[in-house]
Structure 1
């Protein structure tokens, strides 16, 4: 649409239609007196950045802005929208209530180590994005670089951004587990089994690629796994109760 409709119309048209329609949906959709605050927030956070990104992508302009907006969008979808919608579907509660019920508990040496690991993974993902930017493109398949990127993280991984996203999700998933956890856990449905501690980390590695899978098999092997787990426990990674 950004190719045929001027940018001002793309913004003002949906806003006017939403404002006009929302006020006439009562009593199907009851509105509070301050509902327009949510309208302004949606315009500022969702509509304007989305329209701007579409316009710049179609025109192939402002590469730096396009890349920055894509990183913000990916981060919001992966770590805000997807978790909230997932919990909404499993708890059968409105999304805003589920989001308001979330509590972040950080403390202890294990959390500090995980935060540092997450920071390193994030830097690797951003380095991959920068390689695309230097090649004149973005991570989106419909706005790619004009040439194949084989430098930076792409010299070692075919999909570093996807791998980093999976690892970041794995680091944050434990806080949303329905049961009581005392270690990092890997659960498999068919066949059904669960692994804890260093063996859980090894199981996750088997899903990345062959090189990481070999490392995962090695650290999960009998005797080696027990020895590594003993070292981790002695270094502050012993089992502990996670606050809920």
Structure 2
């Protein structure tokens, strides 16, 4: 082999060596877990952590110029696939399968990188500030991946799990997959926004329309003790919020947003990808979901007889009526309750707050499993009316939005009230 061939073969050897080491380490960790008898319980968490690390590593690679990988037939988003996959497995799957202190894994990752990266010079060119990039990856990729894997395995830190998963899936479906599809068609993100102001406004409005039900569905799962990840489900069947109108609000929202990106950019690859994803979800995933959730919850079959997967209802399906407690001695509160009555809400009973079994100071909504007060209660009431008003209610109950609206309401006189009666007098 002449010197030119040896030089060209060297990067390929390094790429394959990285992947081989990662696959062997993952296989070894999986075998050890299988020997202990708990591999099945950790496999979904390991896959989730691997995906989180992989997406973040590619995002940092695209956003910085602290190292440059040689172009290869397998290059994806600026990095050879063997390297990005191997990196994701070593930082995601392996520690999730093996367990151990997070700080110890981070120290180990840092030491291995300090030794290994300079040895990979046939494959990667390191900038003077590459150590900054390594530190950035430890903070943005390794730490979240380790925490997400451990929290998912142990079913702990629910807000952290939901936040990291929402960030991961937004990055995957909102950036990585569209980025690859656009690049395949010779397009970029500038093509998505290269339109007149009226068209941009229309596209943005449609995007918000699809995003709100998906985000509201995530918060609804969170309130029920679960996450968007199918193998990290809630503790009960969720039939409230967007799920009262649609069985798959997150899938519909993600598909709608991707379809808008395809339409705005003119990307045929992205359009074909959306059609394939929707077809797969409707034909195969839907069947699997029905079987799985029917085994998990006995009420699921009845729920799906009333609620479709991809076509929303006009009015909600409410298996068990909810109660809206509204004061009758407060004129403004009573008027608000009367407005709710004019909407002819489905499955909602309005009762005087003065007769509630406990002292209430705000409008209060409750069903058998959850409750909301103030602006949240009014938003819940809207969800019992029709689809457009329900969408408004979902938006009002989004975590940041709900807090701001409640502060504004309190500032203009819609704050808590002290009712004339007490619980003992009711």
TM-score normalized by the length of structure 2: 0.38
SS at match of 2:119: coil
What's the CA shift string for 1:21-48, capped at 9, x where partnerless?
A: 1111123322122222332332222221
Matching residue within 130, 133, 141 for 1:46: 141
| Among 190, 199, 208, the residue aligned to 1:119 | 208
Relative to structure 1, the CA distance from residue 16 to residue 118 in structure 2 (aligned partners, 3 Å threshold; closer, same or farther) is same
* 2:221 aligns with one of 113, 117, 132: 132
Q: Give 1:210 shift.
A: 5.9
Q: 1:168 to 1:210 in 2, by over 3 A?
A: closer
Aligned twin of 2:114: 19
Write the distance in 1 (CA, Å) between the matches of 2:245 and 2:208.
19
Considering only CA atoms, is the larger Rg found in Structure 1 or Structure 2?
A: 2
In structure 2, distance between residues paired with 1:71 and 1:211: 23
Aligned counterparts of 1:178 and 1:143: Cα–Cα separation in 2: 34
Measured in 2, the distance between the counterparts of 1:26 and 1:144 equals: 44
Post-superposition offset of 1:71 = 0.8
Residue 156 of structure 1 and its aligned partner are, at CA, apart by: 1.8
Aligned equivalent of 1:35: 130
The alpha-carbon deviation at position 187 of structure 1 amounts to 7.6
Gaps spanning 5+ residues in structure 2: where?
1-94, 274-308, 314-426
Which residue number in structure 1 is paired with residue 241 of structure 2?
Answer: 152
Change (3 A) 1:90 1:46: farther
- CA distance in 1: counterparts of 2:173 and 2:102, whole angstroms: 28
| Cα separation, partners in 2 of 1:135 and 1:209, compared to 1, 3 Å | closer
Within the candidate set 175, 179, 191, 1:84 is matched to: 179
In 2: Cα distance, 1:178 partner to 1:68 partner = 30
> What do you get for the CA RMSD once the two structures are aligned?
2.7
Q: TM-score, normalised by structure 1?
A: 0.64
In structure 2, the CA distance between the partners of 1:87 and 1:16, relative to structure 1 (3 Å rule), is farther
Structure 2 distance, partners of 1:178, 1:154, is: 31
* C-alpha distance in structure 1 between counterparts of 2:184 and 2:256, whole Å: 23
Q: Is the 8 A contact 2:227 2:233 kept in 1?
A: yes
State the match for 1:72 in structure 2: 167
The superposition leaves residues 96-152 of structure 1 with CA deviations (integer Å, 9 ceiling, x where unpaired) of xx8xx6424364212112212211221111110111111111111121112111111
